[in-house]
């Protein structure tokens, strides 16, 4: 069997908080620098086995977004979702905090919030929901 | 590898069938396909059966209901491409010379089995964070809007076209036309996609009988359609920051089908594509190389994809108009192409239809662009 | 149709893996099989992936984790024969000349996903009335008792043999021998079958790399094993009053494999068979024609199926000793046969093992004898 | 599409009660006389489409049996199951009423009972559970 490091990483909390900034845990290929979030066992690009764990920047840019009005029974609608691009050249889907509609190109930071999930329907990743908030638009810690 | 022919096709009406089981729907489609082919139950040597949410042994249950048992049966799942993956597997067995007559069935009974929006598998981190399939396509639509100036009215025109086509299809779930204004007035599911831009929850089944050249000749075969190419691909890993309006997965499946058949995009006379959402149809036909990238929604408004247009798309009504019983969809697309190529499509017949393409793309799996995509090219 | 070779094999330990996902287990098995074959990720042209309760797109998730994406992937389900159906499909594609190197993976993560006994699909009338899989085999055991004088002690000896073999298999779930008395002292699950006569709930994955003759030659191939035949059948409809100790389904799959390979029951040196229950092993080997009908349990007591017996059965520990992660089981059986044929089975090596058989039979569908059965015959 | 008669039959109550006797609904092939219980659309033996509905005899003979001690959470264990052979040459799986262990070869009649299902977990076939009872062994109406 291959190393279980990446496997263990998946079970860990998917982020770290440093100096009040929330940073996503990801995996970088030491051979070709491809970044995966979440990490995986093997690099798809070059086949290297075993990625090194990195933390993404605490801020990214909204690539695209939507407002979800119909979802599964676990979620309280409406809620915003975004794909966020990070400087590490990786894209991550995250809910957006606050009521204001996200904008393509908007700079956002990662925050911990309640997320759109209803109480009692927590996913494996833990009690805090990762979200993004754009301070320029009024979305921020106070909204989550 | 020997040629593969579609010698029989059958499908149930798509829609709500609360009084029928999935097995009964599957059996009905199989029997119609057998009759259409002029083969008997005992002629079927093996079967591939696609479904998504039907539990174990769907194929054995459906074929058993229909009087077929004992033969090799493979149940396949590839999200919304399950049925077309069944066709791909069935065709492979004929190319292998293993069998002369095989069956591909797609079946799904979703009524009462489904709550809320369709999502990626629950093991998926994105699904756990709230991602739904409408949301995936809504976010891709927002990019299409931003990059190409596409509008909600243009996307609504795609839905209106398909629902209009469905009116001419007696097997379709939707029976009346819906205007662009009505599409835009329906409730929002995931911004900018309205209810009338999302494929409905449906029950149904579709089946095709495939045969080798030898068996086709023995059957007479004047109505047989040639499966010129069947290609299956899965999504590539999402590495880096890609343009989400580009369908790499669709293009790679199409590329293989074009190469193997010697039939290029400009040869395609009509297409059935996986319009699970209005925007999806645009992404598909642009990914297939049938329309210039970024231009499809505007061209739909001009009528280019209408039944009497330059390249009719989803003349059957598509998923938006005909319905979308997940596992059945990919087979039903091929059934439609076969009927068009035979000139049996009645009021929705496309004149001079001699080369058709069926595209089916399903699902989203963690970290890859999509679960699976098939492209089948058929000719007479 | 061209020859098919197994050029690489890998499997995870079977057992409880609460800290791993199904995708991670699948990826681990795949990587080991690739290393064993001496091929790289990019050499794999297509994959077939068997699982039962793992949701959508299991193959895409497992291969994605392991660094493989984009290729044709077919997820297959045939109850407990899902993994071996994946092998059958993969082999078919090589016979078709479509590919030279393909992958078959079986994977299942049942820990925490399972409550109580395994049953037929919930749509099944018998399941709705209380039928469980242990009950099916218990009722067949009662007939074996009544018709052939088989005893609980004899069935317990089958379990004891397999759990003893498992001790010599570092990948097995059970690590210590269990005596006949201990089997009989374990709690009753379905009369006459005790807990220690039922395969456990397991997590695990197994993978094989299959190659064409051409590719096998390019790889050197001194360790390659030939897949002399791969046969798949489904159960026949239950019509009339049949003898439930007779495995028509097993025999029909075996008959095809014997015919295609030119290898008969008397040529088989050892077998891995689907011993989901103690009685099941008897029904299988009798159905395969490897032991006279009705006599197997008594012969096990005499040691004929031991590792040093006339015809060793389940030298790996079988499902009873090695574990039974449903979708992985059929592939793991072939992995074991490959390792035996290569002389790499360590303390459980069967001397002179040059022809081995793997039998995998799964499920029960409404009105048919069983969901599916595969027989693979491998030789060096 | 083929006739939906058989389909409808499946949704109906799977038995009839005549003169206090419970008789299972089944389908017989008019071409080859094969009997299926439950019915199906097409005869497997001869391919004939459309079976005729028949009612099985109210009594059969136990072909084999077991006592289930572990089941799914929907069922109260232990309970007995039998395969019962009917004169119409068809075998049907049914629970056995009463506490006594069934016997191979025993004559049994079909009765309506509570069945092994827990309250609130009824299958589609309705509120009455079909069971078999052998009057010779003390299992009978009074036990169910
Ligand atoms: Zn790399
Ligand atoms: Zn008949």
User: pLDDT tens digits for C197-225?
Assistant: 999 999 999 999 999 999 999 988 678 99
Closest by Cβ to B131, choosing from A14, A93, A129: A93
| The pLDDT of residue A65 is above 90 | yes
CATH code for position B296: 3.40.47.10
Answer with the residue of higher pLDDT: C10 or A8: C10
Question: Residue C62: which H helix or E strand, with range?
Answer: helix C58-65
Q: Are strands B4-11 and D59-68 parallel, antiparallel or unpaired?
A: unpaired
| Domain boundary pick from B183, B212, B228 | B228
Residue numbers in A near C67 (CB within 8 A): 40-44, 47, 49
Task: State mean pLDDT over C112-131.
Answer: 84
Give me the residues of A, 55-94, that contact B with CB < 8 A.
Answer: 63-73, 75, 79, 81-83, 85, 89-91, 93-94
Residue B304 shares a structural domain with residue B277: yes
Subunits next to D (3 or more Cβ pairs <8 Å) are B, C
Residue B306 shares a structural domain with residue B255: yes
Residue B36 shares a structural domain with residue B172: no
Residue C220 shares a structural domain with residue C240: no
Q: Which two tokens stand for residue B162?
A: 């398909």
Ion ligand 2 neighbours (CB, 5 A) are D 29, 31-32, 34, 43, 45-46, 48
CA distance C233 to chain B (A): 4
Catalytic residue among C194, C324, C360, C373: C324
Which of the 8 DSSP states describes residue C348?
Answer: G
Average pLDDT, chain C: 96
pLDDT for D114 equals 80
What's the farthest any 2 CA atoms get from each other in chain A? 49
Tell me the C-alpha distance between B306 and A40, whole Å: 45
The SS3 assignment for D56 reads coil
CA distance D42 to chain B (A): 5
Answer with the residue of higher pLDDT: A115 or C147: C147
Is A42 within 8 Å of chain C by CB?
Answer: yes
| The pLDDT of residue A142 is above 80 | no
- The mean-pLDDT minimum among A122-131, B291-300, C15-24 falls in A122-131
Quickly state the pLDDT bin for C3 (edges 50, 70, 90). very high
Residue C94 shares a structural domain with residue C133: no
CA distance A18 to chain B (A): 22
Average pLDDT, chain A: 84
Residue B177 shares a structural domain with residue B215: no
Question: Residue D82: which H helix or E strand, with range?
Answer: strand D79-86
Closest by Cβ to D45, choosing from C115, C142, C239: C239
Kindly give the distance from the C-alpha atom of residue B209 to the centroid of ligand 2, in angstroms, as a whole number.
Answer: 23
Task: Write the ipTM.
Answer: 0.93
Give domain status of residue B44, yes or no: yes
Tell me the C-alpha distance between B24 and B82, whole Å: 19
Residue numbers in B near D7 (CB within 8 A): 19-21, 24
Residue C208 shares a structural domain with residue C248: no
Give domain status of residue C119, yes or no: no
Distance between first and last Cα of chain C: 19
pLDDT for C341 equals 98
Q: Which two tokens stand for residue B245?
A: 């309006």
| The pLDDT of residue C118 is above 80 | yes
- HEC readout, chain B: CCCEEEEEEEECCCECCCCCCHHHHHHHHHHHHHHHHCCCHHHCCEEEEECCCCCCCHHHHHHHHCCCCCCCEEEEEECECHHHHHHHHHHHHHHCCCCCEEEEEEEEECCCCCCCCCCCCCCCHHHHCCCCHHHHHHHHHHHHHHHHCCCHHHHHHHHHHHHHHHHCCCCCCCCCCCCHHHHHHCCEEECCEEHHHECCCCEEEEEEEEEEHHHHHHCCCCCCEEEEEEEEECCCECCCCCCCCCCHHHHHHHHHHHHHHCCCHHHCCEEECCCCEHHHHHHHHHHCCCCCCCCHHHHHHCCCCCCCCCCCECCCCHHHHHCCCHHHHHHHHHHHHHHHHCCCCHHHCCCCCCEEEEEEEECCCCCECCCEEEEEEEEC
Structural domains of chain B, count: 2
Residue C73 shares a structural domain with residue C167: no
Answer with the residue of higher pLDDT: D143 or B324: B324
| The pLDDT of residue D124 is above 90 | no
Give domain status of residue C311, yes or no: yes
Closest by Cβ to B139, choosing from A35, A83, A124: A83
Percent of chain C at pLDDT > 90 equals 91
Are A90 and B241 within 8 A, CB to CB?
A: yes
Give domain status of residue C239, yes or no: yes
Kindly give the distance from the C-alpha atom of residue B241 to the centroid of ligand 1, in angstroms, as a whole number.
Answer: 16
Kindly give the distance from the C-alpha atom of residue C233 to the centroid of ligand 2, in angstroms, as a whole number.
Answer: 22
Residue numbers in C near D91 (CB within 8 A): 238, 241-242
Closest by Cβ to C366, choosing from B1, B61, B121: B61
Is A118 within 8 Å of chain B by CB?
Answer: no
Residue B216 shares a structural domain with residue B254: no
pLDDT for A2 equals 36
State the best of B114, B123, B135 to mutate against chain A, taking most chain A CBs within 10 Å.
Answer: B135
Kindly give the distance from the C-alpha atom of residue B119 to the centroid of ligand 1, in angstroms, as a whole number.
Answer: 29
Quickly state the pLDDT bin for D131 (edges 50, 70, 90). confident
| Domain boundary pick from B188, B213, B228 | B228
Task: State mean pLDDT over D23-31.
Answer: 97
Partners of B270 in the β-ladder: B356
Residue numbers in A near C13 (CB within 8 A): 1
Are A11 and C19 within 8 A, CB to CB?
A: yes
Residue C223: which domain range?
Answer: 4-114+202-228
Are D42 and B41 within 8 A, CB to CB?
A: yes
Our answer on whether B and D touch (3+ beta-carbon pairs < 8 Å) is yes
Q: How many CB atoms lie within 10 A of CB C42?
A: 12
Q: Is C324 a catalytic residue?
A: yes
Give domain status of residue C244, yes or no: yes
Which of the 8 DSSP states describes residue C187?
Answer: P
Give domain status of residue B119, yes or no: no
pLDDT for A143 equals 38
Distance between first and last Cα of chain D: 42
Residue C47 shares a structural domain with residue C138: no
Residue of D nearest to B61 (CA): D40
Kindly give the distance from the C-alpha atom of residue B187 to the centroid of ligand 2, in angstroms, as a whole number.
Answer: 52
State the best of A9, A10, A11, A41 to mutate against chain C, taking most chain C CBs within 10 Å.
Answer: A41
Residue B168 shares a structural domain with residue B302: yes
Report yes or no: C83 and B19 within 8 Å, Cβ to Cβ: no
pLDDT for D125 equals 56
| The pLDDT of residue A144 is above 50 | no
Quickly state the pLDDT bin for D128 (edges 50, 70, 90). low
CA-wise closest residue to C54 among C7, C111, C132, C134: C111
Give domain status of residue B120, yes or no: no
Percent of chain D at pLDDT > 70 equals 81
For the packed helices C278-287 and C248-261, what is the interaxial angle rounded to 10 degrees?
A: 50
Residue numbers in D near C148 (CB within 8 A): none
Residue numbers in B near D41 (CB within 8 A): 24, 27-28, 31, 65-67
pLDDT along chain B (380 residues), means of 10: 90 96 97 97 98 96 96 98 98 96 97 80 88 97 98 98 98 97 98 98 97 92 91 96 97 98 98 98 98 98 97 98 98 98 96 96 87 97
pLDDT for C311 equals 98
Residue C99 shares a structural domain with residue C150: no
Q: Which two tokens stand for residue B3?
A: 């040629």
Quickly state the pLDDT bin for A11 (edges 50, 70, 90). low
Give domain status of residue C68, yes or no: yes
pLDDT for D142 equals 39
Q: Tens digits of per-residue pLDDT, D57-74?
A: 999 999 999 999 999 988
Number of A to B CB contacts under 8 A, please give it.
Answer: 106
Residue numbers in A near C24 (CB within 8 A): 4, 6-7, 10, 41
Give residue for tokens 């456990």: C200
| The pLDDT of residue A10 is above 70 | no
Residue A49 CA: which ligand is closest?
A: 1
DSSP code per residue over A80-116: EEEEEEETTTEEEEEEE-SSSPP-TT-EEEEEEE--S
């Amino acid at each position: 069997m291959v190393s279980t490091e990446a496997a263990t990483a998946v079970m860990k909390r998917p982020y770290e908080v440093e100096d009040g900034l929330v940073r996503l845990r990801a995996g970088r290929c030491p051979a070709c620098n491809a970044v995966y979030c979440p990490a995986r066992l093997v690099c798809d690009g070059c086949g290297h086995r075993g990625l090194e764990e990195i933390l993404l920047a605490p801020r990214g840019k909204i690539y695209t977004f939507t407002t979800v009005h119909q979802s599964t029974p676990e979620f309280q609608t409406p809620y915003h979702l975004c794909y966020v691009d990070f400087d590490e050249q990786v894209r991550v889907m995250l809910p957006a905090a606050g009521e204001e509609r996200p904008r393509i190109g908007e700079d956002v930071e990662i925050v911990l919030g309640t997320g759109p999930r209803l109480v009692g329907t927590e996913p494996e990743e833990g009690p805090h929901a990762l979200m993004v908030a754009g301070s320029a638009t009024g979305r921020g810690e106070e909204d989550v | 590898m020997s040629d593969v022919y579609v010698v029989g096709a059958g499908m149930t009406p798509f829609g709500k069938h609360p009084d029928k089981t999935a097995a009964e729907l599957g059996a009905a489609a199989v029997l119609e396909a057998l009759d259409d082919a002029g083969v008997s139950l005992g002629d079927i040597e093996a079967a591939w059966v696609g479904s998504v949410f039907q539990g174990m042994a769907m194929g054995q249950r459906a074929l058993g209901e229909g009087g077929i048992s004992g033969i090799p049966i493979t149940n396949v799942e590839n999200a919304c491409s399950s049925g077309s993956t069944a066709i791909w597997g069935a065709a492979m067995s004929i190319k292998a010379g293993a069998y002369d007559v095989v069956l591909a069935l797609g079946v799904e009974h979703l009524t009462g089995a489904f709550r809320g929006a369709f999502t990626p598998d629950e093991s998926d981190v994105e699904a756990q964070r709230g991602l739904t399939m409408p949301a995936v396509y809504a976010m891709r639509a927002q990019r299409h809007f931003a990059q190409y100036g596409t509008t909600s009215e243009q996307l609504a025109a795609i839905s209106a076209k398909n629902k209009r086509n469905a009116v001419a299809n007696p097997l379709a779930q939707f029976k009346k036309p819906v205007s662009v204004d009505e599409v835009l007035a329906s409730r929002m599911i995931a911004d900018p996609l309205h209810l009338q831009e999302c494929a409905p929850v449906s029950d149904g089944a579709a089946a095709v009988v495939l045969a080798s050249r030898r068996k086709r000749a023995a059957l007479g075969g004047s109505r047989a359609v040639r499966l010129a190419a069947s290609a299956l691909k899965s999504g590539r890993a999402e590495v880096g920051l890609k343009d989400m309006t580009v369908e790499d997965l669709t293009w790679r499946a199409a590329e293989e089908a074009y190469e193997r058949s010697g039939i290029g995009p400009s040869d395609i006379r009509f297409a059935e594509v996986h319009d699970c959402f209005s925007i999806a149809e645009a992404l598909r036909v642009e990914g297939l190389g049938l329309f210039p990238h970024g231009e499809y929604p505007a061209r739909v408004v001009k009528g280019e994809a209408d039944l009497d247009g330059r390249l009719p798309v989803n003349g059957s009504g598509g998923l938006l108009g005909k319905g979308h019983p997940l596992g059945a969809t990919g087979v039903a697309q091929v059934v439609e192409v076969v009927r068009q190529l035979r000139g049996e499509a009645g009021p929705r017949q496309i004149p001079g239809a001699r080369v058709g393409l069926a595209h089916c793309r399903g699902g989203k799996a963690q970290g890859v662009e999509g679960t699976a995509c098939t492209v089948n090219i058929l000719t007479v």
